[in-house]
Structure 1
Amino acid sequence: MFGLILQSTTYKDIITRPIILNAVVKELNSPRKVQVSPAVPAKYEVDALGQQIQTSPAREAVYKMMPSAYRNQGLDAKTIASMISISNQTNSQVFSVNVKSRDAKMSQDVANVIANVFKTKISSIMAVSNVSIVSKATKNTVPVSPNVKLITLAGFVLGVVTAFGWGLIKDLTDRTVKDLTFLTEELNLTNLGIINYIGKIPDLKEVLAEEGQQKQTSESRSNRRI
């Protein structure tokens, strides 16, 4: 998040234009200079005569070019435009640019690059020079979405409502007879008797096969006795 001191809310629209976002994409995809070792000042000692003698020379900082971390992230002007949102307080010349993405570090870098590019280019676009960055963007380590608690609560409520509705529909559409009085009193039918539960009735072929097997068993036993 960063703030810019503005004279008009028109500047807010300029940030989402290709003239700014294309430059942001180019800078994010460009190689970056990384410091390998810091600069070291020269060291001096004083000899017996009181003269200052250099004991070790100064060394400049060493840098190397590193490829951009976002080169293969598919960042373009349209993607970045969908990631940013701009807000400002009423009667205030300062507005904030928030960047939302799946990577907190990426959001921070994109916001800071937008601030620097806007500050550099706005002077040539609007012929003004009083734009300044109030604060640099910082990454938010707490995810802003998805809201796990809200989704869990919504899922629970939806599950309860769905289960209740399904049970109500099943009950209203159930046409099975559950009480004998419904047949005699509601439908005026005569009760001829109650048939208890009957288990599985064996097939005729199974009965004949079982009787044949028993007959063969009894005949074999009779032959053994003789």
Structure 2
Amino acid sequence: MSAEQQNNEEVTIDLRRLFILIRKHIISILIWMIGLGLIAYGVSEYVLVPKYTASTQLLVNRKTADANQAYANQQADINAVTTYKDIITSNVILKGASKYLANPVTLVKKATPAKKAVYKTNDDGTRALVKKAVNAKPAVYKRESKSYSISPSELASAVSVTTTTSSQVFTLSATAETPAKAQAIANAVAKEFKEQIPKIMDVNNVTIVAEAPKGTKSFPNVKMITAVGVLAGLVISLLIIIIKDLSDTTVREDSFMTNELGLTNLGEIASITMPKDWTFTAKTAEKRGSSRRRV
């Protein structure tokens, strides 16, 4: 037998043995897979702190009536997206966003100062009202969301920007512990960036295309972690079974004795199954001995 044929035979025998082991220990394998799968599901669902991500889209676009100038502006805006990506995560923007998140209010109507009534004096000396007095009115503010105390450094780790090649639109994403907090962070950073970019670059070409909705769960991925747990159960159970089988020194085949140890096979002793109610006693031995003597 050639070495290649011997190797193929060994591989075939090993695979057959592995299949036998799997079939023999199928219950144990299933217990390991289901057990680790349930543990992974429990950890991902009830132990790990969930994270939620909300995203808003911003457009970089300068409006112009000249077609030639419009194309040039479009190319300039595409090139500026990379710069804006760095600016939006800078400390200048994040500081303003952090301040806004601490008190997220927007001015709806400015305060009106009080004004005195205006009179004029007639020829006969009487006074006539020209303009009525106006009472002072406070400014009207609108609260956008719940207040959050978040430092600029925390915002830097929570915010990420994604750009697409040759696109004037880029996506700002924020990750937080609750859907509402992720939404508030994304909208606050986008709002602050839109307000500050004219002062920083002397251009006003940023538009918020879509405000961020409430965040969706981004971590943990329960299905994936559960699948990993099931796979880990399969691998661990197979390793335990294989290691246990390799450490077993029981001789299973005659070929091992003859081929590996060089011993001569003198024969085989068959296994005899006795009835359950059969018992060996002295009388039984005596009867068998007498029957042999008669013969």
TM-score calculated relative to the size of structure 2: 0.47
Counterpart residue number, 2:57: 3
Counterpart residue number, 1:76: 151
Task: Find the aligned partners of 1:180 and 1:3 in 2 and give their Cα distance.
Answer: 70
Alpha-carbon deviation of 1:63? Answer: 7.0
Alpha-carbon deviation of 1:117? Answer: 0.3
1:4 is matched by which residue type in structure 2? Answer: L
Counterpart residue number, 2:179: 104
**Counterparts in 2 of 1:31 and 1:122: CA distance versus 1, 3 Å:** closer
**What percentage of residue pairs aligned between the two structures are identical?**
37
5+ long unaligned stretches in structure 2: 1-54, 61-76, 109-137, 264-295
**Counterparts in 2 of 1:187 and 1:77: CA distance versus 1, 3 Å:** farther
1:10 is matched by which residue type in structure 2? Answer: T
What pairs with 1:72-221 in structure 2 (closer than 5 Å)?
Answer: 75-140=150-215, 142-175=216-249, 177=250
1:134 is matched by which residue type in structure 2? Answer: V
Task: Find the aligned partners of 2:183 and 2:175 in 1 and give their Cα distance.
Answer: 9
Contact 1:4 1:133 in 2 (8 A): yes
Task: Find the aligned partners of 1:26 and 1:165 in 2 and give their Cα distance.
Answer: 56
Q: Which moved more, 1:7-16 or 1:77-86?
A: 77-86
Alpha-carbon deviation of 1:68? Answer: 5.4
Contact 2:159 2:174 in 1 (8 A): yes
2:167 is matched by which residue type in structure 1? Answer: S
Task: Find the aligned partners of 1:133 and 1:81 in 2 and give their Cα distance.
Answer: 20
Contact 2:159 2:175 in 1 (8 A): yes
Alpha-carbon deviation of 1:88? Answer: 2.4
Larger RCO, structures 1/2 (Cα 8 Å, 6+ apart): 2
Aligned pair partner of 1:26 in 96, 99, 102: 99
Task: Find the aligned partners of 2:194 and 2:93 in 1 and give their Cα distance.
Answer: 10
1:17 is matched by which residue type in structure 2? Answer: S
Contact 1:89 1:95 in 2 (8 A): yes
Contact 1:3 1:134 in 2 (8 A): yes
Alpha-carbon deviation of 1:144? Answer: 2.0
Task: Find the aligned partners of 1:94 and 1:63 in 2 and give their Cα distance.
Answer: 31
Contact 2:58 2:172 in 1 (8 A): no
Contact 1:4 1:131 in 2 (8 A): yes
Q: CA RMSD in A?
A: 3.6
2:242 is matched by which residue type in structure 1? Answer: L
Counterpart residue number, 2:127: none
Task: Find the aligned partners of 2:141 and 2:198 in 1 and give their Cα distance.
Answer: 31
Contact 1:105 1:139 in 2 (8 A): yes
Alpha-carbon deviation of 1:4? Answer: 2.1
Contact 1:32 1:68 in 2 (8 A): no
Task: Find the aligned partners of 1:144 and 1:172 in 2 and give their Cα distance.
Answer: 44
Alpha-carbon deviation of 1:82? Answer: 1.6
Aligned pair partner of 1:14 in 76, 79, 87: 87
5+ long unaligned stretches in structure 1: 36-59, 189-226
Alpha-carbon deviation of 1:89? Answer: 2.5
Alpha-carbon deviation of 1:83? Answer: 1.5
Question: How many equivalent pairs are there?
Answer: 160
Aligned-partner SS, 1:143:
strand
- Flag as ranges the 4+ runs of structure 1 deviating above 6 A: 60-65, 178-182
Q: Which moved more, 1:103-112 or 1:82-91?
A: 82-91
TM-score calculated relative to the size of structure 1: 0.60
2:93 is matched by which residue type in structure 1? Answer: I
Alpha-carbon deviation of 1:3? Answer: 2.2
Task: Find the aligned partners of 2:197 and 2:213 in 1 and give their Cα distance.
Answer: 23
**Counterparts in 2 of 1:134 and 1:180: CA distance versus 1, 3 Å:** closer
Aligned-partner SS, 1:70:
coil
**Counterparts in 2 of 1:64 and 1:117: CA distance versus 1, 3 Å:** closer
